[in-house]
Structure 1
Amino acid sequence: MKRRAAIGRMAGMVPALLAARYSHATALFENLPLGERVMKGPFQPSWESLKQYQVPGWYQDAKFGIWAHWGPQCQPEHGDWYGRGMYEEGSDHYNYHVQKYGHPSKFGFKDVINEWKAENWHPDELLSLYKKAGAQYFVALANHHDNFDNYNSKYHRWNAVNMGPKKDLMDGWAKAAKKHGLHFGVSVHAAHAWTWYETAQLADKKGPLAGVPYDGKITKASGKNTWWNGYDPQELYAQNHPLSANAKDSGSIHNQWAWGDGASVPSKDYCEKFFNRTIELIDRYEPDLVYFDDTVLPLWPVSDAGLRIAAHLYNSSIKRHGKLQAVLNGKILDEEQRKCMVWDIERGQSNRIEPFVWQTDTCIGSWHYDRRIYNEKRYKSAKTVVHTLADVVSKNGNLLLSVPLRGDGSLDAEELVVVEGVAAWMQQNSEVIFGTRPWKIYGEGPAIDTAAPLDGPGFNEGKGKPFGAEDIRFTTKADTLYAIALGTPADGKIRVKSLAAGSSHYPAEIAKVELLGRGPVNFERGNDALIVQLPDSLPNQEALCLKIR
């Protein structure tokens, strides 16, 4: 889905560019070229105006969403960033592509799109399953860095209605979400196609086709007698521009994600087309949540397109609902920007209770479907998902979990086991998650001391000590405290040190302790800990939830 390494923040650059380029937001707005317009309302396309934002109650209560990070890059079933890696000579994706499809000078990513038919996609069945698993919102991928729109767009002909599945996927997802009572979200990643596809401009350095360019600069004129006759590949690849600095180094893009360090700067036309496509997406499918896979906002700080989209999303939400119900996710936000939108951490967690609601996004496997993970049984377990959820919620966060779909739109058997495992736990313990708020402290236990710091947009997942029975996470609801033990103690006793007699965190008397799924349990409040005796038969092994009054 995204960059595979830490991304530099370019500290100090954004404020300077802000002052230089966007001090006159109103003037910029009034002089836009023909196209979509920002809906009028209380929000203007400026950081100061966006600070009015308040996270809607539904999102604060929801805590858990499921994501279909699904598009044409899932068709090869070979993992994330396939559309870029297939143009990197000698890479895993390149070698697979040459063997399966042929050389990328002859069979490019545009041709992978034509292979994608989504023939076994049944959104109603999938969302029924996700609702059972406890998801309160569902997010569908609207487009990825591959620049292919999974919806009917009048601004972008490379879309799922015109080619590939020849279906309006966003429409199908949105209708299924509404039917099952889930808030609907979209994820938008296409702002980076400009640099992400630059590998498609290159050529092999060795072998029989050395020096023969890949198809990244091919034009509409070459389409005669092809399946894509009449379509311009440059509308998809957007590669009629000079390469970024160090573009032949495949890892350089990670340092250029915020459009610095020698990144090729997108043209105004490119930025405005992205703006128009995204406004069209918001207006047509009316999502409650928009996730951007960008540093701060898309195309920031080389364009104010992201600011305008944010203002439009908020104003249009107010017009539809009578109050602001929209959520906007952005990455690598400073303290002021976190007042304007919801901070998202990729494959990682904060190590404190955050003052503003935030979100972790992660995946049980690869962001784009990888058949090898299924074959090797390497998906995250339901237990890992539950532990992540409890940890995130205890710190004032939400978990957005991607469950990869195969190219045909179906789940594999191993993924189904994971989702059903989460569903079984949720059926007994959902009250410790939904509608809760953080306690005075988020938790206790040895894993806290080994927690890894965030790295760029996140990526600290799994780098600390694994959770165990001594690791406890807390949530609250009204006058009830929940303690979630992230493991089963060998001696059958849960010890909660933070609730010992005389605890400053909980000075009140504890009158009753229940184990969710079993009922009241015996307990003793000693000087060192609250000691809870577990019954012989436990409701589950993923995480044991105590309800304390």
Structure 2
Amino acid sequence: MSDANAQKVEQEEESVEAGVHTFSQESEWIKPEHPQLLAQLEWFQNQKLGLMMHWGTYSQLGIVESWALSDDDADWSRDGIDWEQDGETFKQQYWNLNKTFNPVRLQPDEWATLAADNGFKYLIFTTKHHDGYCMWNTKTTDYRITGSESPFRDHRYADICRHVFDAFRNRGLGIAAYFSKADWNTPYYWAPNMERSNPTWRGPSYHPEQHPELWEQFVQFTHEQIMELMSAYGRIDVLWLDAGWVCAESRRVPQDIRLGEVVERARQTQPWLLAADRTVGGPYENIITPEQTVPATALHVPWESCITMGTSFSYKFDDEYKSIRQLVHLLIEVVSKGGNLALNVGPQPDGRLPQGAIRCMEGLGAWLKQNGEAIYSTRICAPYYTERCAFTRKGDSVYGFYLYPSDDSAVEASVTLPYTGKVGRVTLLGANDPLHFACSEEGLLIQLPPSELGGDSAPLAHVFHILAADE
């Protein structure tokens, strides 16, 4: 084992803390060789803003998705479970949520229209979380939205993944299928008749090497589910794989599901398909995915931060949502460091989106309608991001952002951007009138026009369009 692999194995136990994943290092990224995958990565890096949705039976209780089923994670995941002290009783209550999940107010076309009209370019949708509940019409298990115990099974939108994928695709958005490699419902992973660990943990209830026939059943079960999604649900741009502990290198219990085998099989019909095998590294982690965080420095590989609009990935009653200023600054920071931002919303149990999330989407969309040129299809530009300044590049254009932390931030007559490239012309984005500027060792000093001064509150950001001087 190489030193790098040994270090990764050492870190594996800490790869998920309180449900939040760490992320792979830039050095672990392997560039694909196939031209179609390279083209798809260019497409991905142009998109910049995705909509992530964590949705399942758990939305009915307003609790964290799946994690409270794992006794090993009870110390943090059961904080909001105040009606039941006995863990086994709670688990049975959770498993029975499939009998009451009935999102009759689901309107996929309205979701897609809201996303498209407000600048989102792709969807990441939870087809299955760790609890094993399937949001598509799978043939592998009855624990699904179309299952015999589901009150939603005869609804016109019963095959939720199909209708949601179609609606977003019809509005021009890309599709990423979130899929958990773990499955705590199937007896092939948490096997009820085996020597289940006590307490339960996020991994299998048996050692795969000691029960190879059972493990092979789980591998085939997983492959069949993935292939259903990859072959019968239209074009999929990204297979977004969670549960990074399910991998051959897992230290506590090796869990080789032969992922490469099924991804390459899927690529026979979807040759553009990107894989995001989170925290695992290697040839099937085409996209690095920080969670609830932004890397400290720019990354020079494809990456995407998945961050919640509120405080929770799953639906949470009376959640507190981020301000539009926070969201705009978050998007600017992510993009200036070379990444995409996947903003997460947890739909309500009835199928509607929370009003707080709609406000977030519309507020961000309004800003993007004015400033999207400096965001979409851009690439990184040194010095990338500082506390109040950020930069992107597109062709011969450089875009400089000057961020205002709050409504009552002072707006001075001039701002200094730490940009030392050759400058021939500076305008405010969307305006034609050139601005007065001066270049020095400290950077680019720009005079703001009088129209930008004296407002009731500071703008979210000033966005400057910088053109290089002729050689």
Q: Secondary structure at the match of 1:104?
A: helix
Whether contact under 8 Å (1:85, 1:94) holds in the other structure is no
Unaligned runs of 5+ in 1: 1-7, 15-46, 198-232, 319-323, 446-470
Q: In structure 2, do the counterparts of structure 1 residues 263 and 494 end up closer, same or farther at CA, with 3 Å as the change threshold?
A: farther
Q: What SS class does the counterpart of residue 275 from structure 2 fall into?
A: strand
User: Any conservation in 1 of the 2:48–2:376 contact (CA below 8 Å)?
Assistant: yes
1:55-110 CA-partner distances (Å, limit 9, x unpaired): 513212111110121111111123343652799599434433579xx9437x5323
Matched, 1:316 2:316: no
Is the CA contact (8 Å cut-off) linking 1:329 and 1:343 kept in structure 2?
yes
User: Quick check: 1:339–1:356 contact (8 Å CA) kept in 2?
Assistant: no
Q: Which residue of 1 aligns with 2:395?
A: 478
Q: Could you tell me how far 1:433 is from its partner in structure 2?
A: 0.9
Task: Specify the code of the residue in structure 2 equivalent to 1:133.
Answer: N
**How far off is 1:493 after superposition?**
4.2
Relative to structure 1, the CA distance from residue 141 to residue 494 in structure 2 (aligned partners, 3 Å threshold; closer, same or farther) is: farther
| Residue aligned with 1:371, SS | coil
Whether the 8 Å contact between 1:368 and 1:404 is mirrored in structure 2 is yes
Aligned to 1:481, the other structure's residue is in SS state strand
Where 1:315 maps in the other structure, the secondary structure is coil
The offset of 1:444, in angstroms, is 2.7
Scaled by the length of structure 2, the TM-score of the pair is 0.78
Within the candidate set 295, 299, 306, 2:259 is matched to 306
Q: What whole-Å deviation, never above 9, does each CA across 1:438-495 have from its counterpart, x for those lacking one?
A: 11331233xxxxxxxxxxxxxxxxxxxxxxxxx1111001100001122165142453
Distance 1:58 1:91 in 2: 40
Match of 1:354 among 299, 305, 311: 299
**Matches for 1:150-189 after TM superposition, within 5 Å:** 150-162=135-147, 163-166=150-153, 167-189=158-180
1:243 aligned onto 2:161: no
1:54 counterpart SS class: helix
1:327 aligns with 2:274: yes
Asked if the contact 1:523–1:530 (Cα under 8 Å) also holds between the matched residues in 2, the reply is no
In structure 2, what is the Cα distance between the partners aligned to 1:276 and 1:94?
34
Counterpart of 2:132 in 1: which secondary structure? coil
Number of residue-to-residue matches in the alignment: 418
- SS, match of residue 109 in structure 2: helix
Aligned to 1:139: 124
Task: Give the CA RMSD over aligned residues.
Answer: 3.6
Residue matched to 1:58: 43
Cα contact 2:50–2:120 (8 A) shared by 1: yes
2:356 to 395, 414, 422: 414
Note the residue ranges of structure 2 that are not aligned, 5 or more in a row.
1-6, 14-28
Cα separation, 2, equivalents of 1:399 and 1:548: 24
Is the 1:156–1:277 Cα contact (8 Å) retained in structure 2?
Answer: no
Which letter does structure 2 place at the counterpart of 1:176?
A
Does residue 496 of structure 1 match 2:416? yes
Output one character per residue of 1:165-224: Cα deviation in whole Å (capped at 9) or x when no partner.
2210011111101221111121001x2234xx7xxxxxxxxxxxxxxxxxxxxxxxxxxx
The one of 108, 121, 125 equivalent to 2:106 is 121
- Taking only the aligned residue pairs, the percentage that are identical comes to 20
What's the secondary structure of 2:182's corresponding residue? Answer: helix
**Residue 85 of structure 1 contacts residue 91 of structure 1 at CA under 8 Å; is this kept in 2?**
no
Given residue 302 of structure 1, which amino acid in structure 2 is its aligned partner?
Answer: Q
Please, which moves more after superposition, 400-409 or 298-307? 298-307
Query: Which letter maps to 2:277?
Result: G
Q: Name the CA distance, whole Å, in 2 between partners of 1:263 and 1:513.
A: 67
2:255 aligned counterpart, secondary structure:
coil
2:210 and 2:123 map into 1 onto residues whose CA distance is 33
SS, match of residue 144 in structure 2: coil
Q: 1:91 to 1:143 in 2, by over 3 A?
A: closer
Answer whether contact 1:495 1:529 (CA < 8 A) is retained: no
**Matching residue's letter, 2:317:** R
Give the 3 Å change call, closer, same or farther, for CA 387–440 of structure 1 in structure 2.
Answer: same
Aligned counterparts of 2:243 and 2:454: Cα–Cα separation in 1 = 47
User: 1:116 offset after TM fit, Å?
Assistant: 0.7
C-alpha distance in structure 2 between counterparts of 1:136 and 1:385, whole Å: 16
| Alpha-carbon distance in structure 2 between the residues aligned to 1:533 and 1:55 | 40
Q: Report what 1:75 is aligned to.
A: 60
Counting only pairs closer than 5 Å after superposition, residues 251-400 of structure 1 correspond to structure 2 as 253=202, 267-285=215-233, 286-295=235-244, 302-318=255-271, 324=272, 326-334=273-281, 337=282, 341-365=286-310, 366-373=312-319, 378-400=320-342
Shift of 1:526: 4.3
Q: What residue identity is the alignment partner of 2:443?
A: A
State whether structure 2 residue 465 is matched by structure 1 residue 547.
Answer: yes
In structure 2, the CA distance between the partners of 1:513 and 1:13, relative to structure 1 (3 Å rule), is closer
Instruction: Note if contact 1:158-1:236 (Cα within 8 Å) is conserved in structure 2.
Output: no
* Matched letter for residue 279 of structure 1: M
Paired with 1:267 and 1:398, the residues of 2 have a C-alpha distance of 36
Question: Partner residue of 2:4?
Answer: none
Q: Deviations over 1:376-425 (max 9, x none)?
A: xx212222222222111112211111112111111222222111111111
Report 1:195-214 matches (<5 A).
Answer: none
Give the distance between the partners of 1:185 and 1:484, measured in 2 at CA.
30
- Residues 148 and 236, structure 1, Cα contact 8 Å, conserved in 2: no
